[in-house]
Structure formats: structure tokens, C-alpha cells
Chain A
Amino acid sequence: MKKYKKDRYISGVITAIFAAAVILPVLTLFVWSFTQRWAWPYIIPGNFSLNAVIDVFEKLKKPGGILISGVVLSLITALLSVIIALMSAKALLFYNFPGRNALLFGSILPFIVPASVFSMGVQLLFINLGLNNTLHGVMIAHLIYSLPYALRLIMDAMSAIGEKYEEQARVLGACGIRAFVDITVPMLLPVSLTAFCMAYIISFSQYFLTLLIGGGRVITFTIIMVPYLTSGNRNFASAYSLVFLGISVIIFMLSKKAAAISNRQLKTQLY
């Protein structure tokens, strides 16, 4: 028992160090958001200003603004990613069929090809298909890049859970798809939410793809933010980044809440 306590103590320390290493850099964003100039050798910046923060809020205030449309776009993309990943994972894991290997390989390819390269190649195709400059075109392009992450996560979890429960359900008379929807999907809910978040962030941070497929007509938050980041405008870059991080943290939290709730429900169902 004593040993167990010691383990937890060590775990606490390591987690704390890790947390500090993550949070301290992010704090500089807060400082820079309000700072115009932070000259050597001062530890605390000299010129404070609200310019950047005011500008960000003005941009966000606009009705039907970039914030909403960009977030909604990514949320839908993430949802579709999870659904498609569930379907694909089911097929790839539990069926042996010709062409499986090719698809398996095809599904991991987007990890390998940087989105900037892909967007240049696919641009003409999208123009030809009439998908450029449209929301659904951008969504499809994002899906291509977010799906592999969702698929990897869900496939790992699904193979861990296995078909055991599903088989039991079948023995009890449920048919394949019902068993899948009623049993496997709820069991996979936690990992599905992880996959959802991952897919969301992949979509939300896409710059090149959104720009080239959206043709500048589909304006997301990232499209507005990145020029400030690359132009070295540190206070504006920081203020925009903070909002970017803020939105994403909220979405991650909400989905975790959802996971917790559904977990509780699942447990009551099973027992």
C-alpha cells in the first residue's frame, strides 16, 4: 500500500512538471496580446496596448462572422469523420475481402503527403468538379485530412474491444447492423469523441487547403489569423491565437463532458 502511494507521488510530480512545461509558454501569449514592445533586457514588457485585443473582438462581433462559420464547418467535418471512420473501421477490421489491403494503405496516405502539396495537386480536380470556392468542397478536402486520424484512433479501440459484445448480442438474436449500432457504437463513444476532437482540430487549423480549395471565399478563423502570424505581428498574432486556442479548448471540454455523461449512461445500461 505504501508503495502504491509513492507511485502516485511520483506520478503527481511528473504530471506537474509536464503541466508547467505546457502552460508557461502559453502564458506568453497573454502577455504579448497586451504588449507592443518588449525590449531586451526587461523581464516585464514596457508598452501595453489594447489595440490587438480590441481588433479581435471587433472582428468576432460581426454577425454571422468568421468565427461561427469556421467552427461550424470544422464541427461538421469532425462529425462526418467519426461516422465514416466507424464504418470504415468496422469493414476493415472484421471483414476479409479483396482490396482490403489496398484500402488500408490508401487510408493512411494522407499522413504522408503534406496538405500544402496535396492542395496544389487537387486544386484543378476540385475546380473541375465544381467544388472549389464552396463550403462543401472545403469540407470534403478537410475530411480527407481529418479522417485518417479518426480512423486510426477508432480502429485501435475497436480491435481492442473486439467483436465479443457484438457476438453476444447476435447470439441473443440481434442482427449485424443492429448489434453494431446498439452495442459497439456506445462502447466506442469515448474514443469516438477523442477522434472527433482530433478531426476537429485538424480541420480547424487547415490553412493551405482552405485557402486553395476555398479560393479565399470560404473564410475561416485560421485564414484571418495566419497572415498575422507570418507577418511577425506579435501582439495581433498572440491575440488571435488566444481566441483560436480558447475556442478549441471549449470544444474539447464539451466533448469530454459528453463522453462522461454517455459513459455513465452506458454503465447503468449494462448493469
Chain B
Amino acid sequence: MFKKRFFGIFAAAILALSLASCSSTNTNQVSGSGSDTVQDKAQASSGTETGMDTKKDDEALSNKGADSDKDDLKGKNFDEIIKLAKGSKVTFYGWGGDEKLNNWLDKEYIPLMKEKYDIEVVRVPMDIEQILTQLSGELQTGTDGSIDMIWINGENFQSARSNDMLYGPFSDMLPNFKQYIDADSDDIKYDFGYPVEGYEAPYGKAQVVFIADSAKTAQLPKNANELFEFAKENKGKITYPALPDFTGSVFVRSIIYEKCGYEQFQDMKPDKEKVKEAIEPALKYLRDIKPYLWNEGKTYPESSSTLENMFEDGEVLLNVTYGAYSTSVNIEKGKYPNTAVSFQFDKGTIGNTNFLAIAKNSPNKAGAMVAINEMISPEVQAMRFKELRTLPVIDYSKLDKQQKAAFDSVDIGKGNIPQDELLSKRLPEMPAELVPVIEEIWKEEVLNKD
């Protein structure tokens, strides 16, 4: 009997604890400024209405734009912002798996920011899903933010935007953005078909290329059909990463573009049946090619990094990557043979832009803006192009002679496609919300069908 009573107390204590955690959340939200609470409620109701549906809510979005007006950075000129940021600390959250990029940030960019603006940039290696988890937790409790700058794009940007997790619009306040970036180009205006609206500034460009070893592969496939023939001739030597890996996903989208064109998808709604119907020729292709794939398409590498390792080891003949100029980098590192070459399909390959955003609750928005402004300066972009072979985001035609020379002098290295040719065959991404739908269809119609 005594036992039972104590158990009851124990359970009650736990309940109280967890309730406390919930209720303090609420009080925090209420104690925020008036407009904030209204905002939260508006968002809450729209959230429950849509329920599990992943549809974005445009009305809620246009609502949200308004509340950033109260932020005191608006209307300040950039010199004032620089002054404000002096001596401050900026945290830069982003993926940390590329040692070359990490080193460049640590050894070049961070010292530069310290020297030029007296800003201490702290690089925090974290995957985007963790960053958004942390950010949403902080926003919910209304505590001080810890995230300033975020490396983000695509579906994650859309998710962060539709949950009102980002600060902005800010990109039109950056002098370098106004001066050197073509704000009207689709690459800058849209992120996976989703309007950027000034809530992120471009960081670098990516574009899909295929990579082969020219010593082993004389004839490079120029389209999906030739790829099919190639797979037949080299049974078991070709594969692509299992979806939802982002590279595997873009490979499938590439095949869809080849088989079904890209135009029809630009304004397609994420209706599963409709999408399935539209991409059926590509699905058939992917099913038909299975017997010729690595392990007969019974299993796929789980990630693009595994596929890359398999290509390095010579286990497969082709690699697919978003890193348009990674071939020369990997040749220089000694990971790829000297004879590795990248190539595109004749009709072109998918490209996208990755961006920098600022967290809505960032404690140092001024510092983050200065840091982002510096990142898109012609000097830093040229440095990134030279050392990391990241495709620059600035508009070449807006540069002066000296700045142009900095880009012209860059040796893109072995095995890469010249920039003008690469960009001339650049296809836009599908709308972000189609991507998970296609991933689901692939699983049902390709992976699980023999």
C-alpha cells in the first residue's frame, strides 16, 4: 500500500515537471511583444488546419513579413551596422563535412573578418536538420538565440520560412548584394522554385555533373538513353544513391528532365497521383535499368559519399555530384585519377544556389549581416572560386576590370567543364515541395517493384 502511494507521488512529480516545461513555454510566448503573440496564434491556427499536410500557407507568409519592421536595423545605413557589429561575435552554423571548406573558413575567412571588422566568427559544424531543430526549440521557448548565420537552401529554406524562423528581408540592405549580384536572375530570386524574398543571400552555386575516368570510359553518355546503353555494356558498374539522399534525388530528377522535359514541373502542384503520371516514362526507365545496375538494383549506396568512395575505388564507373568543380579538387587531393573528367548531358543538368540566412532570434543580426556582406564581396567570391572551386554567385558583368581579372586568372584545373559551357546548360530545380513526393514515388515504383 505504501509502495503504491509513493509510486503515485513519483508519477505526479514527473507529470508536474513535464507540465512545467510546457507551461513555461506558453508564458514565454505570451510575455513576448503583442504583435508576436498574434503572429504565433495566426501561425498556430494555420498549422492545425493544414495538419499533417505539408502544403505551404501563402497567406500566413505574407502576414509574417510585417513583424520584422519593428527591428531596429531597418533604416540604418550599412556603416552604422558595421559600427554596431564591431567587437561582436557571430556564430556561423552549417554542415561541417568538407575539410577543405572548413580549413578555408578557419584560416582565411575568419581571420579576415577579425582583421577587417573586428568581428569574431565562430564556425559551428552542424547538419541543417539539427540547426532547424535547435532554432525551433529556441523560438518556442523565447529564450536568447544562439544561432546567427545559417548555411541553408532548398526544402530546408522553405520549411524554415513557412515556420517563420528566419530574419529578413535583409539581402537588399547589403551593399555588395546591391552592387554585384543580379537580383533579378532566377538563381537568386528562387531557391528550388521558392521565392527568396530577401530572406537569404547567395553563398555559392552548385550544378550536377557526372564524373568518369576517361582512361576506362572512352565514350561518355550524352543523354539518358546513352546512359542506359552504357549501363548495359558495363553491367554492375553503375548505380546512384538511394533516395532520399539529395544526390540520388537529383539523379532521379535528371532522368525525369531527360524523359519528360523540365518545363511542366515548374508550376506543378505536389499531388502524388498527378506527379506519378507525369514522371511515368522516367519511372519505367529507372525500373528497366535496374538489372544492369550495381547489385542488380537490389540495393543502392545509402549516400552520395558512399557512391563517391565507390568511384574512387573503381567499384563503379560513374559518379554523380552537385559539386560541379569537385573533379579537379579531388584530382589534386589524389582521390581521383588524373584521367577523371566531368561531363553533362547535352540537354543540360540541374543547378541550384546555396544561401546564407539569419536566424529570426539571432542575438547579433548586425554582425551576421556584415559577415554575409563580406562573403559575397568580389574578393571573397574570387578567393572561394580559386581555392575551393565554388562557382561564384556574383554577376561577372557588374565587376570592374581588376575584379574581372581576379576571376579570369583562376585555373579551374583538370577535368572540369569551363564555366560558360557549364552555366549555359543549367536547368532549374523543381519546386521544393515536389522533391519529397518524388522520393516517395521512387520508393514505391522503382525500389519496391521488380
Contact surface of A with B, Cβ cutoff 8 Å: 36-40, 47, 49, 51-52, 55, 98-103, 120, 123-125, 127-128, 130, 132-133, 211-212, 215-217, 219, 223-224, 227-228, 230-234, 236
Contacts and interface: CB of A to CB of B under 8 A. Distances in A.
B225 interface: no
Given A37-B334, A127-B143, A211 B309 contact: no
Contacts of A216: 91, 93, 124-126, 131, 134, 146-147
B25 interface: yes
Contacts of B96: 224, 227
B125 A99 contact: no
Contact of B313 (A38, A125, A215): A38
Give the interface centre of A37, A39, A120, A133 by most chain B CB atoms within 10 Å: A37
A36 B333 contact: yes
Given A212-B134, A231-B97, A127 B141 contact: yes
B99 A102 contact: no
Contacts of B3: 98-101
A52 to B, nearest CB: 8
B314 A40 contact: yes
B305 interface: yes
Given A224-B125, A232-B306, A124 B6 contact: no
A185 B306 CA distance: 49
A234 B147 CA distance: 30
Contact of B308 (A47, A125, A130, A232): A232
B104 interface: no
B204 to A, nearest CB: 17
B315 A40 contact: yes
Contacts of A130: 143
A52 B95 CA distance: 19
A100 B3 CA distance: 8
B91 A99 contact: no
Nearest to A213: B134
A124 B141 contact: yes
A128 B9 CA distance: 23
A236 B333 CA distance: 12
Contacts of A125: 17-18, 21
Interface in B90-135: 91, 93, 95-99, 103, 124-127, 130-131, 133-134
B97 A133 contact: no
Interface string B11-51: 10000011011001100000000000000000000000000
Contact of A127 (B97, B98, B137): B137
Nearest to A230: B97
Contacts of A52: 99
Given A98-B3, A216-B93, A216-B124, A236 B146 contact: no
B6 A133 contact: no
B189 interface: no
A124 B97 contact: no
B305 A230 contact: yes
A233 to B, nearest CB: 6
A95 to B, nearest CB: 13
A105 B337 CA distance: 57
B104 to A, nearest CB: 12
Given A37-B334, A133-B146, 16 more contacts: A38-B313, A40-B314, A98-B2, A98-B5, A99-B6, A102-B11, A128-B24, A128-B141, A130-B143, A132-B146, A212-B133, A216-B93, A216-B131, A216-B147, A228-B99, A231-B97
A109 B245 CA distance: 33
In this complex, the member of B127, B147, B308, B313 whose beta carbon has the largest number of chain A beta carbons within 10 angstroms is B313
B157 to A, nearest CB: 19
Given A123-B137, A128-B24, A227-B125, A36 B103 contact: no
Contacts of B125: 216, 223-224, 227
A112 B2 CA distance: 28
Contacts of B10: 99, 102-103
B134 A215 contact: yes
B303 interface: yes
Nearest to B143: A127
B7 interface: yes
B303 A232 contact: yes
Interface string B324-342: 0000000001111100000
27 contacts: A40-B314, A40-B315, A47-B334, A98-B3, A98-B5, A99-B3, A99-B7, A99-B9, A101-B7, A123-B134, A123-B137, A124-B141, A127-B140, A128-B20, A128-B143, A132-B137, A215-B147, A216-B125, A217-B124, A217-B146, A227-B96, A227-B97, A230-B97, A232-B305, A232-B309, A233-B97, A233-B99
Contact of B309 (A120, A133, A234): A234
B312 interface: yes
Interface string B311-325: 011110000000000
A216 to B, nearest CB: 4
Contact of B138 (A102, A103, A120, A127): A127
A127 B6 CA distance: 29
Interface string B136-155: 01101101001100000000
Contacts of A233: 97-99, 305
B25 A124 contact: yes
A234 B127 CA distance: 19
A4 B73 CA distance: 83
Contacts of A40: 313-315
Nearest to B336: A37
A102 B7 contact: yes
Nearest to B11: A102
A171 to B, nearest CB: 30
Contacts of A49: 333-334
